[in-house]
Structure 1
């Protein structure tokens, strides 16, 4: 395998790429590509912060603080979001890979490579929300691709709303990719593989919803 991450081929022609990955004794360029994807994650989060996505709490302070302090807080918010993006990228690459590594006899490098096709899905979802937020004022909770909007009509529980807001068509796509690769690479029972993938992602979604809920509670 060469050093180039063939994301499009990995996403849309997973059968070919799975056989290629399975038959490769040594996967090269893994750590280089890991670093690049983590940096890309930080960049995407930074771009989102640059446009003010998620900084609604700053708008409430606009009339109570000086312009200089407001700009400083915007800069700190952008820096914080960029760091969060780096951490997010590292977690979404290493956590699933290490989890599946402990439950299979696959090399860690191959499992990391699988995550190379999953992380871009999450980043694409982050990017596509930027124009929607700027043009329509939509937040993550009101994403047309997730269940958050429906949840707001059926419950007043903020945690449940945030949890359902994390369940989007992009998350389903990510689960599908992980499942297909792991099923073919591990050779395990498909039901067990599906349970592993859904179980791990469910934990990640619950934690993400909890973080969003705590941040929302602080803003209020």
Structure 2
């Protein structure tokens, strides 16, 4: 029996994933998923309550009635909470369904277990960003953990800024954990594992960037 231990797996992946390979039963999976989703929802709710990401709405605060402004903030907050609920689940299952046919000798439950760690790191990044956004008055595209800041110095293209802002320390960390995990648990060569992981992350980034850019273009009309 293997007990999912997020902290140990994040900082000692080699030992942790060898244990996962040798196990017959994974324990604590549902609880860890619930914890990650709960923390993600909490970060989104707190950020929305404190006004993180409402800059475009507040620009119109002097031009519209207070009731309309509060309604727009409520809709934004609901959207953030829904995003906080489904984002870690999307990360887990997107990568799992992509990796499963490519690493067929690894059970789906074990692949889900591996994807807990990218979801966990995503949630940690989200929790750390909330106070940073409040203190610095910046948006997600200007997170100090990603390449969005540098990209804004080169171009003002929204799509490119959103795309490169997703390349963060935590995403690279997640990709490294995935590579280590599949190197320990499969018989595929290292070069192929690296290519599969990088390609999957590129597909994920393109999907998220397209969605975020479309939402930004729609905006909240006051």
Q: So what's the TM-score if we normalise by structure 1?
A: 0.91
Secondary structure of 1:95's counterpart equals helix
Q: Distance in 1 between matches of 2:100 and 2:30?
A: 16
Q: Which residue of 1 aligns with 2:177?
A: 177
Pick which of 83-92 and 150-159 moved more: 150-159
Tell me by how many angstroms 1:64 deviates.
3.0
Q: Distance in 2 between matches of 1:38 and 1:127?
A: 12
Q: Which residue of 2 aligns with 1:54?
A: 53
Secondary structure of 2:27's counterpart equals coil
Q: Which residue of 2 aligns with 1:82?
A: 81
Q: Which residue of 1 aligns with 2:67?
A: 68
Contact between 2:2 and 2:19, CA under 8 Å: does it hold in 1? no
Q: Which residue of 2 aligns with 1:122?
A: 122
Q: Distance in 1 between matches of 2:90 and 2:212?
A: 17
Contact between 2:2 and 2:25, CA under 8 Å: does it hold in 1? no
- The answer to whether residue 176 in structure 2 is matched with residue 188 in structure 1 is no
Structure 2 unaligned spans of 5+: none
Q: How does 1:159-170 map to 2 (within 5 A)?
A: 159-170=159-170
Contact between 2:141 and 2:149, CA under 8 Å: does it hold in 1? yes
1:25-72 CA distance string (max 9 Å, x none) = 111232343233223322222222222212222212322333233223
Contact between 1:42 and 1:89, CA under 8 Å: does it hold in 2? no
Structure 1 unaligned spans of 5+: none
Q: Distance in 2 between matches of 1:31 and 1:102?
A: 23
1:177-203 CA distance string (max 9 Å, x none) = 111111111121111111111111111
Secondary structure of 2:145's counterpart equals coil
Tell me by how many angstroms 1:2 deviates.
5.9
Q: Distance in 1 between matches of 2:177 and 2:207?
A: 21
Q: How many residues align?
A: 219
Contact between 1:100 and 1:111, CA under 8 Å: does it hold in 2? yes
Q: So what's the TM-score if we normalise by structure 2?
A: 0.90
Q: 1:19 to 1:7 in 2, by over 3 A?
A: same
Q: Distance in 1 between matches of 2:2 and 2:101?
A: 26
Tell me by how many angstroms 1:212 deviates.
2.4
Secondary structure of 1:65's counterpart equals coil
Q: How does 1:1-220 map to 2 (within 5 A)?
A: 1=1, 5-104=4-103, 105-219=105-219
Q: Distance in 1 between matches of 2:92 and 2:98?
A: 11
